[in-house]
Structures are given as C-alpha cells and as structure tokens.
C-alpha cells in the first residue's frame, strides 16, 4: 500500500484499490474529502492506469465506519453500486480497513476506456448514525496511459486554430459573459473599444509592429523631433544679459542678497556705495521638446512596455507550472505506452515558450527604444491618454502620423485577455479541449453561412447557469453557453453543457426532460442528462426541432464499435434519443451526432443504413462524423439539419447509404465523403478579378497570400492523399479542380485578399 505525505494526510478517509486483471498488479489510491481536493489538476504520486486494460475495483474504508450504501463513479460517469458484499478485513498502514468489491458488468471491465488524460474516482457513501447523511470521497487525478498514437501535429493545429485564429465575431460570441474570470491587460473607453477578445498572437504582432515603427522613426526624431521656441526665465551672470528691463530690476529689488559691493562705479548706487549682482533672472528663448505630441510618443512607449511585462509574467507563471507537471508525468511513462496528457502539455509548453521568447525580445527592444527616445526628447514627461487629439503634427508629419495610427490601433484593439490561453490550461484534458474546439468550429460554421446575433433577444449570447446541484456537474465558466442566432426565418439556439432534468424543471428555454431514473441508484430519485451541445432549430411558424451533438476525442471506429447492440454510439443513442421527451409532440430529439476528434481519414457514418432506410426514411439521420483541423463533417450535417442545401459527396455515392453492411455487422461503415466547397463562389470571384489567373495554379501564391502550401486551382486531380483536398469545378468552360478543405482562418484570408484587390482596382 502506497503511503501519502501530502497536505491532505489528515483528511485521508480510505483507499480505492485498482487491480489489473491481466498482470494482477495492485495499486491503492488514497481517498480524501472531495472539498479538500483541488478542482484543477492534482496528480497522484502512485502508479498510472492503462486506458484500455481490464481492472477490478475495491473500496477500502476504516472498519469503524458503518456504511449502508456505497457507489463509485469515474470522471462523473454513471455510478457503479456496490451491494456491500463485505468480506475480508485487511490491514492497511497498520490500520484496519473493510474491503468492498465494486461490481463491474462484463462489458465494462475496462473502467478507464476512452479516458484521455486523467481519471478521478469518486465514492459516495451513506453512513449510518452520522450527522452527515452522505459523504463524498475522491482520489486525486490518476494519469491514464495508452498504447495508441496521439498525433502531436493534430493537437498543435487544434491549439493554434482555437487560440490564434483572428475571427472577431466568433471570438466575441465565444467569450461573452466571461468578464469576471479573464485577465484583462488593456481596458479602453467603450467608445473606441472593439469588444471582441483578441488572441495572444495578434497582441504580440501589435507589439512587434510598434517596435519596428519606433525603430524606423528614430533618426527623424534625432534630427527633426517636433519642438518649439518658448520664452522662459533663467538666472544668468550680468555679462550675458543683453538688456535690462523692469522685470530684471524688480527681481533684483526682491532678491537683494544677490548684490555684492564693488569698488567700481556701477548703475546701482545706494548710500554712496556701488553694487553689482552675481546673477540676474531674465527671460530667454529656448528650444523645447515638451509638447503634447512628444508626451504621447513617450507615454505610448511606457504603455506598451508595462503591458508586455504583465503578459510575459503571467505566461511565465503558467509555463513554469506546466513544466513542473510535465517533469512529474515524464517519470510515469511505461515502455510502449504513452501519456495523452503529456502530448498536450508539451504542445502547450512549445506554444507558450515561443510567445515568452517573443515577448522577452519585445520588452528588451522597448526598454532600449525608450532610453533612446528619452535622450533625444529631453525634458518631456511621458503621458498616455485614452482618447488622444489628432493635432496638426499628428496629421502632417509622417513619423508622428505613423505612431498616432499605432496608438489608435492599440486603443481599438479591445480588451486583451488570456481567456483563450486559459482554455488549454483550464483542465489539461484532451477531451475538454476538444469540446472547446468543437464549439469554436460550430460557431465558425454558423457565422460563415450568414448567421448573426438574434436582435429580437435581449441577450443573444450569454453564459447561462443551471440550478443543478451535483458533484458531477458544475456550470461552465470559461466560455458562453447559450448562443441565439438567426438567418432569415431560421432561428437557432446552441447550448453548450445544457442540463436536461428528470423532474419538472425547465431552465433557459429547454423544454425537454429525461424519462428514466438512474437504475443503479438505491433510492428512486430523478436524474438528468448533460450532452455537450444541443441545437434548437425554429423555422418560421413550424415546430422547433432539437438536435444533440457530443464531442468525443476518439477514433470513429472506436465510437461505432458494437452498434447497435453496445458501445459508445449505442449508449449515446439510448440516452439522448430514446430517453428524452416532453409535453409537446415536437419535444423530442430529432438527431444525434458524435464528433470524432481523432483519425487521419475523413469519416461520415450514418446510423440508418438498411436498404429500406436508404430509400424511405424521412427523418433526420444520426451518426458519427470527423471534426478535426483537417476534416469537418459540419458541411454535411448542418445544411441538412437547417434545410439549407444538400451535401456534396463523391460521385456515385448515395448520400444516405454510404456503405452497405448486414444487420449483424458491428464494423463501422466508413464513407470517404468530400465536403462541399463552401468557398467556390469566392474562388470564382477571385478568378474573374485577378489580372493573371494563372497565379492561382501556383502553390507559392497560396502560401504567400493564404497561408497554406496547396495551389488554389489544379488542372488535373492530384494522385494520392493530395487529391482529397480538391473538388471538380468548371471555370470559364474549362474543367479544373479547386481547393476545398477550408479552415476558418484560410477562408478569412481569402475574403480579405479579394476585398483588398477590389479596392485597389
């Protein structure tokens, strides 16, 4: 039995024994009061578990504890009830513990299956003769090993797309309602402020642009920095005084101590004695750099430097904690097994480390530039105002105008926060990160096809809360959770982490209810369902429809395995399609879709596969689709749900019956489906306006202007994997192949390029 020397030792309440059925290795994980265990990652010091290995579970409690009911859950899954078959009394760490076996169904002998990252085991006790009717105990986070490959490049692209893409509207939607939790470094007047949160990448780019502008303007400021001649009073020796007037005479009269007696005759005679002043205050003309414009120039430098230091300090703190966790997890690797959480940690370290390095360079450059500018602008006190005046100097002098434009870019930049960065650091769990990524892709899709905030709603985007009190559920605090959007007569409500109650509660516009109770609970209590996403679609006066999406960071084949008799997809269909209803006839779930976050192939698998269903089934289809940085099933699923357009598939592939399987087959039918080219109209528009459309056939042009190394057009379909990225089109009567796998940032760059090109014509 492993001992524990943590700060929780005084609250140790028992152990969870995990026994590997194959190797018979046993590990005991300490149990603590759940309120004393951090909600963030808190890794155990004991051995890790293997994600797909079979295990037996036991609960060890002090012999003096009289338990009437006991249930065990892993990461909030349905509870496993122990019938209290108490046998044996084992001695653990010189104390007596009663051992309870946790019964596992034969098909659930792998309790940690599809757990990518960490597992936290919770035990709910009903204790006899205790002031507390229920006691909740939990382990710390147990790392889960896996023998599967976790594609680091895919995770890196997922992080980049989620955290760096400059899609203002989607970023504004996603981070609405999260004002209290985010770290704001630039709070600007609402009149100027762009409300959409900006990424760390764009902030660093603005810092670097400012450094370049100040460097380029330095020589001008050395020779021609704006100045003016002003009259000021100065004390000078008499030999340097050119003229003497009333001001000088009055000053000497008030300051007689500066007069010294002299044997020579002077104009100052008093009682027969002659005097000469040692110094006289007189007005002189001097060159002064202390102007409003120069104060803004130095003040903006100070503002940039202060913000860069604050952001860099926060990133260094985050990186240090990640590195410490990485070092701890490195020691847990076992031979051919990998640690999925370690892959995410390393990508976070690489990403954050790159930005820390850039910010350090920015800080050093800003400090050097600040010293140089203070030297060439002597006597200027730095000042930065939130609404600077656009004076004639800022309008007419090129270098001042460039800095003024930078200041305005800074002010309009908006509230920069690390809210996006915190998505990756919030849980360090791949499954949670994939949920955020799926939400981002859904919002991008709706925005790209023309949906906008519903002006008929008082609060179109908000972070709603549910009244559910459960140890397995907490309201989302990182992103907005209800998006009310509209396009024409189609209104949608997209929920993230909604609650569907088994009792009469209906919150935030959800009129659906769970129909069953948890059969494993000893008491007949109502329960609830919490899907990842729920979409409500309303078209004019038609009845609304409900659709559920679940994000699974797993391969499509693993999710499909066992359907329709068992497996993940079967379980989800049973929960959300068969066990949800409401008072109205339309209060039902029309379709269920699982988003698969892993795998190198594009998969779209439909549940309704019989020959009859392919011909006559009129309802919405359910299934599994790939949603990764490389492939998106949204172009096939959402147009049919919303009634926008048909899916575009490969030639000769039936849009419903993608593959034919027998009813007894449990293999996953995989259709190699190509999404419709949503940027085809943009490509055709670009083809018509460019002077030489042959450049669109060159990868160098795409790489320089759009950021990907694929030609926008090809005259023939490329062989191998490259061919998946193109769809057949006709331009000016000629058949060619157009690039079709558009990530949101690529699409935005294409739109911007077309807009700039049109403006230049």
CATH number at residue 29: 2.70.50
Whether pLDDT at 229 is above 70: yes
Q: Identify the pLDDT of residue 80.
A: 64
Residues 301, 388: Cα–Cα separation, whole Å: 14
What pLDDT does 22 receive?
85
Secondary structure E strands in 488-544: 490-496, 500-501, 513-514, 528-529, 533-539
- State the average pLDDT over residues 464-490: 88
Indicate whether 142 pLDDT > 90.
no
Residue with tokens 């790159």: 354
Greater confidence (254 vs 334) lies with 254
Residue range of the domain that includes 734 = 680-760
Asked, for residue 186, whether it belongs to a domain, the answer is: no
Residues 120, 216 share a domain: no
pLDDT at residue 385 is higher than 50:
yes
Task: Look at 15 and 89; give whichever has higher pLDDT.
Answer: 15
Task: Give residue 85's pLDDT.
Answer: 56
pLDDT at 186: 33
Are residues 448 and 516 part of one domain?
Answer: yes
What is the share, in percent, of the chain residues with pLDDT greater than 90?
25
Check the CA dihedral 440-441-447-451 and report its sign. Answer: negative
Per the domain annotation, does 592 fall within a domain? yes
pLDDT at 475: 86
- Helix ranges restricted to H, 537-610: 556-560, 568-573
pLDDT of residue 121: 87
Confidence of residue 88 (pLDDT cuts 50, 70, 90): low
Position 286 scores a pLDDT of 76
- Regarding whether 376 and 507 lie in a shared domain, the answer is no
**Are 299 and 204 in the same domain?**
yes
pLDDT at position 589 is 95
Instruction: Let me know if residue 567 belongs to a domain.
Output: yes
DSSP state of 271: T
Split at pLDDT 50, 70, 90, the class of 198 is low
Can you tell me the mean pLDDT for 62-90?
Answer: 68
Element (H, E) at 157: helix 152-164
Reported pTM: 0.62
453 and 569, same domain (yes or no)? yes
Domain count, the chain: 5
Residue 346 pLDDT greater than 70, yes or no: yes
Confidence of residue 684 (pLDDT cuts 50, 70, 90): confident
Average pLDDT over residues 551-574: 89
**Res 417 pLDDT > 70:** no
Of 145, 170, 186, the one marking the end of a domain is 145
Mean pLDDT of 237-257: 82
At residue 404, does pLDDT exceed 50?
yes
Q: Is the pLDDT of residue 710 over 70?
A: yes
What pLDDT is recorded for position 615?
A: 82
Does residue 574 lie within any of the structural domains?
Answer: yes
SS3 percent helix, strand, coil of the chain, rounded to 5, is: 35, 25, 40
Which of 145, 174, 209 terminates a domain? The answer is: 145
pLDDT at 500: 95
Beta strands at 268-270 and 461-462: parallel, antiparallel or unpaired: unpaired
| Mean pLDDT to the nearest integer, 736-749 | 79
Tokens representing 492?
């949608």
Percent of all residues in the chain with a pLDDT value above 70, rounded to a whole number: 80
Do residues 624 and 707 share a domain?
A: no
**Quick check: 650 pLDDT over 50?**
no
- Give me the pLDDT at residue 431, please: 79
Query: Residue range 479-491: average pLDDT?
Result: 93
Structure confidence at residue 502 (pLDDT)? 92
Query: Could you tell me if 266 and 315 lie in one domain?
Result: no
pLDDT for 367: 95
Is residue 197 over pLDDT 70?
no
Identify the pLDDT of residue 643.
84
Q: Per residue in 442-466, pLDDT tens?
A: 999 999 888 999 999 999 999 999 9
Model confidence band, residue 512 (pLDDT cutoffs 50, 70, 90): very high
The string of DSSP letters for 186-217 reads: ----TTT---SPBPHHHHHHHHHHHHHHHHHH
Least confident of 123-132, 293-302, 444-453, 606-615: 123-132
pLDDT mean across residues, the chain: 79
Q: Which is more confidently placed, 674 or 730?
A: 730
Q: How many residues comprise the chain?
A: 761
Q: What pLDDT, on a 0 to 100 scale, did the predictor assign at position 653?
A: 32
Residue 678 has pLDDT above 90, yes or no: no
Distance of alpha carbon 57 from alpha carbon 587, whole angstroms: 40
513 and 571 in a single domain? The answer is yes
Examine the domain organization and report whether 450 and 384 are in the same domain.
no
Q: Does some domain include residue 340?
A: yes
The reply to whether 30 and 76 lie within a common domain is yes
Greater confidence, 129 or 468?
A: 468
User: What would the mean pLDDT of 525-553 be, rounded to a whole number?
Assistant: 92
The number of C-alpha atoms within 13 Å of 620 and in the hemisphere containing its C-beta is: 21
What distance in Å separates the CA atoms of residue 460 and residue 447, rounded to the nearest whole number?
14
As a whole number, mean pLDDT of residues 156-179 equals 72
User: Looking at the structure, do residues 205 and 259 belong to the same domain, yes or no?
Assistant: no
Q: Using 50, 70 and 90 to split pLDDT, how confident is the model at 626?
A: very high
**Could you tell me the end-to-end alpha-carbon distance of the chain, in angstroms, rounded to an integer?**
77
* pLDDT value, residue 184: 36
Q: What is the pLDDT, as a whole number, of residue 541?
A: 83
Within a domain: 185: no
Q: DSSP letter for 542, please.
A: S
Same domain, residue pair 471 and 619? yes
Average pLDDT over residues 88-100: 68
pLDDT at 416: 56
Does a structural domain hold residue 655? Answer: no
501: Cβ–Cβ under 8 A, 6 or more apart, which residues? 468, 507, 513, 514, 526, 528
User: d(Cα 748, Cα 754) in Å, to the nearest integer?
Assistant: 10
Is 743 part of a structural domain of the chain? yes
For 424-445, the pLDDT digits (tens) are 554 456 778 889 899 999 999 9
Asked whether the predicted pLDDT for residue 571 surpasses 70, the reply is yes
| Confidence tier at 490 by pLDDT (50, 70, 90) | very high
Q: Give the angle subtended at the CA of 592 by the CAs of 588 and 597, to the nearest 5°.
A: 155
Say which residues have a Cβ less than 8 Å from residue 502's Cβ, sequence separation at least 6. 513, 514, 515, 516, 517, 526, 527, 528
């Amino acid at each position: 039995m492993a001992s524990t020397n943590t700060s929780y030792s005084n609250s140790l309440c028992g152990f969870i024994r995990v026994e590997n059925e194959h190797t018979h290795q046993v590990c005991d994980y300490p149990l603590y009061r759940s309120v004393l265990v951090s909600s963030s990652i808190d890794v155990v010091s004991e051995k890790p578990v293997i994600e797909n290995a079979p295990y037996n579970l036991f609960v060890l409690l002090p012999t003096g504890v009289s338990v009437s009911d006991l249930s065990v859950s892993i990461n909030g899954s349905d509870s496993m009830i122990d019938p209290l078959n108490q046998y044996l009394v084992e001695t653990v760490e010189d104390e007596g513990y009663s051992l309870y076996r946790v019964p596992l169904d034969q098909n659930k002998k792998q309790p940690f299956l599809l757990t990518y990252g960490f597992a936290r085991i919770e035990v709910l006790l009903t204790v006899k003769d205790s002031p507390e009717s229920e006691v909740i105990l939990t382990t710390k986070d147990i790392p889960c090993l896996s023998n599967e490959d976790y594609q680091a490049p895919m995770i890196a692209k997922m992080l980049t797309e989620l955290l760096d893409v400059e899609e203002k509207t989607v970023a504004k939607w996603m981070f609405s309602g999260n004002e209290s939790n985010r770290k704001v470094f630039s709070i600007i007047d609402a009149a100027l402020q762009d409300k959409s949160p900006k990424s760390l990448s764009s902030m660093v780019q603005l810092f670097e642009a400012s450094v370049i502008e100040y460097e380029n303007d330095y020589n001008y400021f050395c020779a021609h920095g704006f100045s003016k001649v002003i009259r000021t009073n100065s004390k000078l020796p008499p030999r340097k005084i050119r003229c003497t007037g009333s001001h000088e005479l009055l000053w000497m009269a008030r300051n007689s101590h500066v007069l010294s007696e002299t044997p020579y005759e002077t104009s100052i005679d008093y009682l027969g004695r002659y005097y000469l002043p040692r110094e006289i205050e007189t007005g002189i003309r001097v060159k002064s750099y202390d102007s409003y414009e120069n104060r803004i120039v130095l003040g903006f430098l100070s503002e940039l430097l202060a913000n860069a230091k604050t952001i860099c300090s926060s990133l260094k703190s985050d990186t240090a904690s990640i590195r410490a966790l990485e070092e701890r997890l490195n020691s847990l690797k076992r031979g051919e097994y990998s640690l999925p959480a370690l892959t995410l940690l390393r990508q976070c370290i690489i990403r954050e480390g790159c930005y820390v390095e850039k910010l350090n360079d920015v800080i050093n450059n800003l400090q050097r530039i600040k010293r140089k500018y203070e030297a060439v602008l002597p006597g200027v006190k730095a000042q930065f105002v939130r609404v600077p005046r656009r004076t004639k100097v800022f309008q007419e002098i090129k270098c001042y105008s460039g800095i003024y434009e930078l200041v305005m870019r800074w002010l309009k930049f908006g509230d920069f926060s690390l809210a996006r960065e915190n998505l990756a650091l919030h849980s360090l769990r791949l499954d949670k990160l994939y949920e955020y990524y799926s939400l981002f892709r859904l919002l991008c899709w709706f925005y790209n096809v023309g949906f906008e905030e519903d002006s008929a709603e008082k609060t179109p985007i908000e972070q709603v809360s549910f009244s559910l009190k459960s140890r397995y559920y907490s309201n989302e605090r990182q992103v907005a959770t209800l998006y009310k959007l509209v396009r024409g007569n189609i209104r949608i409500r997209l929920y993230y982490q909604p609650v569907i109650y088994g009792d009469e509660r209906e919150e935030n516009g959800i009129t659906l209810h769970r129909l069953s109770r948890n059969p494993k609970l000893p008491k007949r209590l109502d329960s609830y369902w919490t899907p990842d996403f729920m979409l409500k679609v309303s078209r004019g006066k038609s009845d609304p429809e409900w659709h559920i999406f679940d994000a699974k960071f797993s391969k499509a084949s693993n999710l499909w395995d066992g359907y329709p008799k068992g497996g993940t997809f079967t379980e989800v269909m049973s929960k959300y399609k068969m066990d949800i209803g409401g008072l109205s006839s339309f209060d039902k779930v029309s379709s269920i879709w699982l988003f698969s976050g892993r795998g190198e192939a594009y998969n779209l698998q439909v549940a309704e596969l019989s020959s009859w269903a392919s011909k006559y089934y009129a309802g919405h289809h359910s299934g599994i689709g790939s949603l990764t940085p490389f492939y998106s099933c949204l172009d096939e699923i959402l147009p049919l749900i919303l009634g926008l357009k048909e899916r575009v598939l490969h030639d000769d592939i039936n849009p419903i019956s993608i593959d034919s399987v027998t009813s007894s087959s449990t293999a996953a039918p995989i259709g190699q489906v190509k999404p419709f080219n949503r940027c085809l109209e943009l490509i055709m528009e670009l083809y018509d306006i460019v002077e030489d459309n042959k450049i669109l056939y060159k990868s160098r042009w795409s790489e320089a202007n759009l950021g990907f190394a694929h030609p926008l057009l090809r005259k023939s379909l490329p062989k191998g994997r490259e061919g998946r990225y193109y769809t057949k089109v006709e331009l000016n009567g000629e058949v060619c192949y157009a690039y079709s796998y558009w990530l949101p940032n690529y699409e935005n760059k294409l739109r911007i390029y077309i807009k700039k090109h049109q403006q230049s014509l």
